[in-house]
Structure 1
Amino acid sequence: MFGIYLKRELSRRKKAALVIAMGLALGIALVITVSSVSAGMQQAQGKVLKSLYGLGTDMTVTKARPAATASSSGRPKFDFDAKADSSMTQSSDRVMTQGGQSLKSSLVTEVAAQKGVSSAVGALSLNVTKVDGSFTRGTAKSSTSSGSAGSSGSSGSQQGGPGGGQGGSSGQPQVQGGGASFDVNSYSVAGVDVTHQDLGPLATSKITTGRTFTASQTDTKAAVLSASYAKENKKTVGGTLTISGTKYTVIGIATPDSSESTTDVYLPLKQAQTLGDSKDKVTTIYVKATDSKRIDTVKAAIQKNIPGTTVTTSADLASTVSGSLSTASDLATSVGKWLSVAVLVAAFLVAALLTSSAVSRRVREFGTLKALGWPSRRVTRQVVGESVVNGLLGGALGIALGLGAAYTVTAISPKLTAELGSTGGGGMGGGPGGGGPGRQAVKNTMEIALSAPVSVTTIALAAGLAIAGGLVAGAMGGWRASRMRPADALRSVA
């Protein structure tokens, strides 16, 4: 009986049902669109932070580099043999640690022992500046002039040395020709812990040619190159790379997940320490927490128990991201969500008012039903049932509209830019995309394609909102219907 009456009443009031359903649909569609765009913003920010941070990394531990003193400016210094044959090519490599002050390798174990830390891995960031070229020696020549006519060319005429005689050479010797031509090439090197490659500088790259390090290659003269560096310098797997006189065999080419990775060469940590004269030293400790919700607690514990260090979390790095991505994310988070809430509340109120108004026009119907013996709860149930069906219909329409809007955004894929700043004190210097060795003050710009993924949770939320909207409207209409009396129906007939 309930179902038959429900179907008949909805068929009789198609326009009113459609208006209520469309009002709810618009609110639900806006919620889905804003939620999916916000999810796309979070994914885009995740890509940016991943390029800054590294896969699986929750925080890093570094130490700010002290101010340079008069005796140690920290600038590269190159020495060349001035007596070498001019035909020889001069070459010199300057290897310097970058990304902050060096830390003892024992601190990695100390950090890993902190409560809330799942794992910790040390890495050493180096910057290699290679200068090669050649000198061309100049020729010393002096100008001469004719002597006095009275001079007979005796040895006395030359006494006094150059310029001091009365008829010898005059003027100072001058160097003619000569010069120097040198090429300067600077690139970054990261020493990685080959036994824990899932955390650290190499974690954000995929080996596209060759292979990566094995766990036994802790001190092997092997290197993995970034794809861009290998292409620029025409390096291939099986070739060699010479750094400061040491030859390394190229075993793999790595393509970074993010285009902003600035590490060019990866070496086993021990080899990097030897190369940089930094035995048992690291510049960055990559940390993974046991629980992502306890990152702030772990950060505070590390700072307390290991003083003098700088702990940088993903939240700290997120504050350095600017550009249209940051602006759009702020709009989606603040304006978009509040707008969707306002529209949804308005849709609920409109549905409730329309349902209440429809009940007012059905005074004769409900009064007659009560006169025939229908109790108030049955009348209320009938109105709520109709409203819930309207809500479900509005939910279906809203989900369809929301999915259409989300897929449209994904298909268009608008481009957003993100400027990556530096957190200072080394921050992620030395990590992929973290400013890189020697680049802490540089801002890189990434271009991210925005998508709008719709999750099952969002669909479930939309369905819940649809039912809630129907219940709100039905509750108001049912309350109005329950207050009607059979006498009201009789008065409307008269």
Structure 2
Amino acid sequence: MFFTYLRRELRRRRKAALVVASGLALGIALVIVVNSASAGMQQAQGKVLESLYGLGTDMTVTKAAPPPSEGGRERPRFNFDAQDGDETQSSDIVMPQGFETLASSTVGKVADQTGVAGAVGGLSLSVLKVDGEFKPGEFAPRENTSGGGGGGDTGGPQGEVRGGGANFDVNSYTVYGTDTAHQDLGPLTSSKITDGRAFETTETDAKVAVVDSAYAKEKKYKVGSDVTIKGTKFEIVGIATADSGDASANLYIPLKQAQTLSDSKDKVTTVYVKADDSQQIAAVKSAVQKNIPGTTVTTSADLADRVSGSLSTASDLATSVGKWLSIAVLIAAFVVAGLLTMSAVTRRVQEFGTLKALGWKSGRVTRQVVGEAMVNGLVGGALGIAVGVAGAYVLTAVSPSLTAEVGSAAAGPGGGGGGMMRAGGPAGQAADKAIEIALTAPVSAATIALAVGLAVTGGLIAGAFGGWRASRLRPADALRRVE
């Protein structure tokens, strides 16, 4: 009897039911789209941070910048041994990024801190390659313009040097020295080997290299090719493609080789740290800063606050405007659904009064109204889920591109000294190098569950309004209105 009457009443008042369901559907669909877009932006920010840190890295430790009173960092100096002749000459200047390094023993000290699951050191280098040639000038004798056989000024210069000079091309690229025995942390973890192989754990001091795919394409490198750095030849054993499209370094070589090339024995530029518990990152940061003086600790949260560009703007809009807008629309939909249900009950005063006169209890009438409202809510939830999922799918299919960059304030001690340097974690990402990310809007099971919960809540709210009105009806109200 309950379901028969319910079906008949919903069919008879399908327009009103559709209005209530559509209002709920709009609010629920907006919540799904906003939540999915927010999740997509969080994933995009995660990719940006992984491209700086490396997968699984919770924080990095670098050398603290000297106070301004001490004069800051010294500018680098190098000598280029030029030789006469027409042959092309080449020289590599290999420098640690930021010209600030830590002792390799710092890695062990960090690993011993409470809450640290693992710590790995890496050495980020910038290589300045100078190619070209010197051309000596030619001596041209001075012409004798004094007439008369040989009389003239014999005390002045007998000629001059003409021509000559230098023609050099300067290129730069980045090299990251990775600990091949511990490859689970660091920038290389944000890339996948797409050709060849990764480093073997035994290749701690081997002359092998992994090259970024974009750099390999530019220089026409392939697996088996050789690349020479400061006179040392490395065999390319693998080509890596960055997940975010922006690699942390152009070349990756074993850490010991990087230390040798840069005259940085037992030195690292960055320590990559993984915490035991993501909820204890702040505590681990405090412990490292307290127990290991002279270091700067940067967490993923620190970097996330400094990500700028359209990704940051869109994320802020989704968080502030989008969520509040969806909440406002949802509340409005609930209120309208409740008011429409209560209005429908008022218009059915004769019907409910007659049913009470025939023996229906107030509770039965209230259950009937709540049942109709619940059906409207579930229909609205189904429509809202369909529209919301479709909207999220369209957003993913369109894949609008967002840009993100880490400002110079995030560069830390590794960010100075050479704007071309990008490797080595958050300290090395160039501020003027934007990372482009395609926005997606993944719909999770939690989002669907939220939508179902909202649909049920909307039905209960509407039913509560209508049920309250129906419970106040009396059989005499119906008899007064019978003509």
Q: TM-score, normalised on structure 1? A: 0.90
Measured in 1, the distance between the counterparts of 2:36 and 2:145 equals 94
Matches within 5 A, 1:296-445: 296-422=282-408, 423-426=410-413, 435-436=422-423, 442-445=431-434
Matched with 1:463 is 452
- Name the counterpart of 1:75: 76
Query: How do residues 67-466 of structure 1 correspond to structure 2 at under 5 angstroms?
Result: 73-80=74-81, 84-99=83-98, 101-145=100-144, 168=154, 170-171=156-157, 173-422=159-408, 423-426=410-413, 435-436=422-423, 442-466=431-455
User: Is residue 111–residue 118 contact of structure 2 (8 Å, CA) maintained in 1?
Assistant: yes
Moved more, 301-310 or 185-194: 301-310
Whether the 8 Å contact between 1:32 and 1:402 is mirrored in structure 2 is yes
Distance between the aligned counterparts of 2:396 and 2:115, measured in 1? 38
After superposition, residues 19-38 of structure 1 pair within 5 angstroms as 19-38=19-38
Q: Secondary structure, in 3 states, of the residue corresponding to 2:413?
A: coil
Question: For residues 120 and 474 of structure 1, do their structure 2 counterparts lie closer, same or farther at Cα, with a shift above 3 Å needed?
Answer: same
Task: Map Cα deviations across residues 409-457 of structure 1 (whole Å, 9 max, x no partner).
Answer: 1222222222332313236899xx9833796654212222222211111
Compared CA separation, residues 168 and 435, structure 1 to 2 (3 A):
closer
Is the alpha carbon distance of 1:396 and 1:193 closer, same or farther for their aligned partners in structure 2, counting shifts above 3 Å? Answer: same
Aligned amino acid, residue 134 of structure 1: E
Q: 1:146 and 1:101, CA in 2 relative to 1: closer, same or farther beyond 3 A?
A: closer
| C-alpha separation in 2, matches of 1:453 and 1:292 | 23
Which secondary structure state, in structure 2, belongs to the residue aligned with residue 213 of structure 1? coil
Shift of 1:235: 2.6
Distance of aligned partners of 1:427 and 1:455 in 2 relative to their CA distance in 1, 3 Å threshold: farther
Please state whether the residue corresponding to 1:319 is helix, strand or coil: helix
Alpha-carbon spacing, 1:425–1:335, altered in 2? closer, same or farther (3 Å): same
- Confirm or deny: 8 A CA contact 1:143 1:170 kept in the other structure: no
- 8 A Cα contact 2:187 2:248, kept in partner: no
User: Contact conserved, 1:192 with 1:268, CA < 8 A, in 2?
Assistant: yes
Q: Relative to structure 1, is the Cα distance of residues 97 and 4 closer, same or farther in structure 2, using a 3 angstrom cutoff?
A: same
- Where does residue 57 of structure 2 map in the other structure? 57
Deviation of 1:286 after TM superposition, in Å, equals: 0.7
Query: In structure 2, do the counterparts of structure 1 residues 492 and 18 end up closer, same or farther at CA, with 3 Å as the change threshold?
Result: same
Q: 1:13 to 1:441 in 2, by over 3 A?
A: closer
One-letter identity of the residue aligned with 1:450:
L
Shift of 1:368: 2.1
| Distance change >3 Å, CA 366–CA 405, structure 1 → 2 | same
Query: 1:230-252: per-residue Cα shift (whole Å, max 9, x none)?
Result: 23333332232222222222211
Once the two structures are superposed, what CA deviation does each residue of 1:22-78 show, in whole Å capped at 9, x if it has no partner?
A: 111111111111111111221222222222221111111111354899998433422
Specify the alignment match of 2:18 in structure 1. Answer: 18
The 1:352/1:168 distance shift into structure 2, 3 A limit, reads: closer
2:54–2:186 Cα contact (<8 Å) kept: yes
Q: 1:133 to 1:427 in 2, by over 3 A?
A: closer
Instruction: Supply the distance in 2 between the matched residues of 1:147 and 1:468 (Cα, whole angstroms).
Output: 111
Name the SS of the counterpart of 2:463 in structure 1: helix
Q: State how many pairs are aligned.
A: 477
Offset, 1:88: 4.3
Say which SS state the counterpart of residue 258 (structure 2) adopts: helix
1:146–1:167 CA contact under 8 A, matched in 2: no
Give the whole-Å Cα distance in 2 for the aligned partners of 1:34 and 1:72: 47
The alignment yields a C-alpha RMSD, in angstroms, of: 2.6
**Aligned AA (1:26):** L
TM-fit CA distance, 1:196 = 1.7
| Structure with the higher helix share, 1 or 2 | 2
Amino acid in the other structure paired with 1:220: A
In structure 1, what is the Cα distance between the partners aligned to 2:421 and 2:479?
Answer: 80
Query: Partners in 2 of 1:354 and 1:468 — Cα distance?
Result: 16
Once the two structures are superposed, what CA deviation does each residue of 1:179-220 show, in whole Å capped at 9, x if it has no partner? Answer: 222222221111101122121121111122211110011111
Structure exhibiting the larger radius of gyration computed from Cα positions: 1
**C-alpha distance in 2 between matches for 1:202 and 1:177:** 49
Helix, strand or coil at the partner of 1:180:
strand
Contact 1:148 1:167 in 2 (8 A): no
8 Å CA contact 2:196, 2:239 repeated in 1 = yes
CA 1:421–1:435 in structure 2 vs 1: closer, same or farther (change >3 Å)? Answer: farther
Higher mean C-alpha displacement, 189-198 vs 220-229: 220-229
Query: Once structures 1 and 2 are overlaid, which stretch shifts more, 101-110 or 85-94?
Result: 85-94
Unaligned residue ranges in structure 2 (runs of 5+): none
Taking a change above 3 Å as real, the CA distance of residues 29 and 440 of structure 1, as seen in their structure-2 partners, is closer
For 1:476 and 1:439, locate their aligned partners in 2 and report how far apart those are by CA, in whole Å: 60
After alignment, is 266-275 or 179-188 more displaced?
179-188
1:47 aligns with 2:47: yes
Which piece of structure 1 moves more, 251-260 or 337-346?
Answer: 251-260
